[in-house]
Amino acid sequence: MANFETPQLGKRLVTPRIKRGATSHLAPYVAKPEIQEPLGYPGELVDSWERVAIDKLGEMKGKYRSLQVFMDACVSCGACTDKCQFFLGSADPKNMPAARQDLMRSVYRRYYTLAGKWFPKLVGARDMTKEVLDEWYSYFFQCSQCRRCAVFCPFGIDTAEIAMAAREIMDTVGRGQKYANEVVGKVFKFGNNLGLPARAIADTLESLEEDVEEETGLKIRFPVDEKGAEVLMVVPSADFFAEPHVDGLVGYGKVFHQAGISWTFSTHASEGGNFGMFIGSYENMQRVSIRIREAALDLGVRRIVFGECGHAWRVAYSFLNTLAGPFDFLDPDYPVPQHICEVTYDLIKRGVLKFDKSQNDHMVLTFHDSCNPARATRMGDLPGGQFTFPREIIKATCNHFVEMAPDTIGDATFCCGAGGGILTDELMEVRVKGAMPRMQALKQVVDTDGVTHMVSICAICKSQFSKVLPYFKFNAKMNLGVHQLVSNAIILDNRNGR
């Protein structure tokens, strides 16, 4: 299957002894000029790139307080060193958060601190060289920007911020990552990450309507570009056709149908994901976000709702208002934007949705908190709603629900291993090793509680699990979305969907 060893799952998670250089050979494919240029980046390594990189670092730490503070504040206490799933799975010490940060901190110290200018050896300062750039290009793409380290750092130092800045600096000197940058380019060209043309989306939804009618006997609609709908639904484009994602999309449709809420997708904004965040580019992230504003204005909707996608929800919840607001043209009675789980949860509480839980009786379920919703967003009015909302929905729709170990869920959740723009085949070794801690936690509930399926609310998690579960001798199909459970169990007694 692959030319690397899949980590062994034991009785419980063990912190490995460090193994220098264990994953130093891994790096993503480099972006060609035609991928770089539409994003405003040079196509190849520019002349005197060292200087350009150093200057860009200086510019960014002036624009982002996080970067400036995080460069200074680390005391190398080591609290983070056993927290990163990529370290736990690979044992490579450069995957320890403090060491990953030091890849940039060493350069920062050399050029921007007195200690690093005068005593580079003493404080671990390094010149910006080709070796350093190559190291950045390897290890800043072995980070999924999941923020688990930031939870445990006594100063909240967030490696995600540093990895994002590093990628922006690398893009600026002409060393971009093919996968993420190509995806951003596709959004500009097609409106979505997968490059699906509008016609293909409409066709897919049409045949989906037929399938659902066959299953339910009801005309449940999946509308596209319908002006005057109440809700603009923005989903990760994988929801349109990938497995198991699409089964969740059917769930969204059933919820809106049963509640009698008119809604529509937009082909202009046929993507909730925003890889502009992964590459640390405010400008590109904003360009991607703006489409959603345009679509909402164009279609005259009154609410915006996001589907199950982790990083999309981070950009939506935390950044959208800033990047593309104000949204004063929408209904002020609803937060902008909303998560589909907020919509469904609210409808359950109000008694609008009813479920036949036995429809999910063939499964024993557990819930994987996706990193971005868990540590960078909220649902509802109370802190922690991002944990309770999906769980309440799951419990409303099934009879058998089990939690994984407490230090692997909630805000301590392990990332699936392929967030942050590394969901690409050439990084499969990183992905499998990074998935190990989650797989370990899953194995424990499979062994003790007979768990058969793992639920999540993220398109990247779902795609990643489908790929990596078999490496750990699990069935690829034991992975599904919250709204697939909803879809299975919902009682549809609203004949015409109004």
Give the residue, chosen from 21, 351, 383, 406, that forms a contact with other proteins under the rule CB under 8 A. Answer: 383
Give the residue, chosen from 54, 103, 153, 459, that forms a contact with other proteins under the rule CB under 8 A. Answer: 153
Tokens linked to 206: 């049409």
Q: Rule CB under 8 A: is residue 311 a binding residue for other proteins? A: no
Tokens linked to 293: 């504003």
- CA dist., res. 430 & res. 436, Å (int): 10
Task: Give, in order, the Cα–Cα distances in Å from 218 to each of 213, 288, 493.
Answer: 5, 35, 9
Q: Rule CB under 8 A: is residue 73 a binding residue for other proteins? A: yes
- From the list 149-157, 245-253, 257-265, 449-457, the region that binds other proteins by CB under 8 A is 149-157
Return the number of the residue (210 or 381) whose C-beta is nearest other proteins.
Answer: 381
Q: Rule CB under 8 A: is residue 79 a binding residue for other proteins? A: yes
- From the list 2-10, 319-327, 347-355, 431-439, the region that binds other proteins by CB under 8 A is 319-327
Q: How many CA atoms lie within 13 A of 60 on its CB side?
A: 26
Give the residue, chosen from 158, 168, 247, 369, that forms a contact with other proteins under the rule CB under 8 A. Answer: 158
Q: Rule CB under 8 A: is residue 40 a binding residue for other proteins? A: no
Q: Rule CB under 8 A: is residue 4 a binding residue for other proteins? A: no
Task: Give, in order, the Cα–Cα distances in Å from 164 to each of 10, 70, 76, 314, 421.
Answer: 33, 13, 21, 14, 10
Give the residue, chosen from 40, 62, 450, 470, that forms a contact with other proteins under the rule CB under 8 A. Answer: 62
Return the number of the residue (213 or 407) whose C-beta is nearest other proteins.
Answer: 407
Q: Are 306 and 338 within 8 A, CB to CB? A: yes
Residue span 111-140 as binding mask against other proteins, x where in contact by CB under 8 A, dash where not: --xxx---x-xxxx----------------
- CA dist., res. 487 & res. 105, Å (int): 48
Return the number of the residue (122 or 491) whose C-beta is nearest other proteins.
Answer: 122
Q: How many CA atoms lie within 13 A of 440 on its CB side?
A: 27
Count of chain residues binding other proteins (CB under 8 A): 83
- CA dist., res. 367 & res. 406, Å (int): 12
Q: Rule CB under 8 A: is residue 346 a binding residue for other proteins? A: no
Return the number of the residue (147 or 175) whose C-beta is nearest other proteins.
Answer: 147
Q: Rule CB under 8 A: is residue 24 a binding residue for other proteins? A: no
Q: Are 255 and 486 within 8 A, CB to CB? A: yes
Q: Rule CB under 8 A: is residue 450 a binding residue for other proteins? A: no
Return the number of the residue (69 or 259) whose C-beta is nearest other proteins.
Answer: 69
| DSSP three-state, residue 111 | helix
The count of other CB atoms within 10 Å of the CB of residue 152 is 17
Q: Rule CB under 8 A: is residue 35 a binding residue for other proteins? A: no
Q: Rule CB under 8 A: is residue 21 a binding residue for other proteins? A: no
Three-state secondary structure string covering 462-476: HHHHHHHHHHHCCCC
Give the residue, chosen from 37, 155, 492, 494, that forms a contact with other proteins under the rule CB under 8 A. Answer: 155
Q: Are 238 and 195 within 8 A, CB to CB? A: no
What one-character DSSP code corresponds to residue 423? Answer: -
Give the residue, chosen from 56, 167, 186, 293, that forms a contact with other proteins under the rule CB under 8 A. Answer: 293
Q: Rule CB under 8 A: is residue 325 a binding residue for other proteins? A: yes
Min CB(126)–other proteins separation in Å: 11
Give the residue, chosen from 374, 428, 436, 469, that forms a contact with other proteins under the rule CB under 8 A. Answer: 374
Q: Rule CB under 8 A: is residue 110 a binding residue for other proteins? A: no
Min CB(20)–other proteins separation in Å: 8
Q: Rule CB under 8 A: is residue 332 a binding residue for other proteins? A: no
List, in order, residues 6 or more apart from 81 with CB less than 8 Å away.
Answer: 87, 96, 97, 98, 99
Looking at the chain, how many residues does it have? 498
Q: Rule CB under 8 A: is residue 150 a binding residue for other proteins? A: yes
Q: Rule CB under 8 A: is residue 381 a binding residue for other proteins? A: yes
Residue span 397-426 as binding mask against other proteins, x where in contact by CB under 8 A, dash where not: --------------xx--------------
Q: Rule CB under 8 A: is residue 233 a binding residue for other proteins? A: no
Task: Give, in order, the Cα–Cα distances in Å from 211 to each of 205, 206, 486.
Answer: 10, 9, 17
Task: Give, in order, the Cα–Cα distances in Å from 104 to each of 29, 94, 374, 378, 419.
Answer: 21, 12, 26, 30, 21
Q: Rule CB under 8 A: is residue 362 a binding residue for other proteins? A: no
- CA dist., res. 267 & res. 206, Å (int): 14
Give the residue, chosen from 254, 378, 433, 438, that forms a contact with other proteins under the rule CB under 8 A. Answer: 378
Q: Rule CB under 8 A: is residue 85 a binding residue for other proteins? A: no
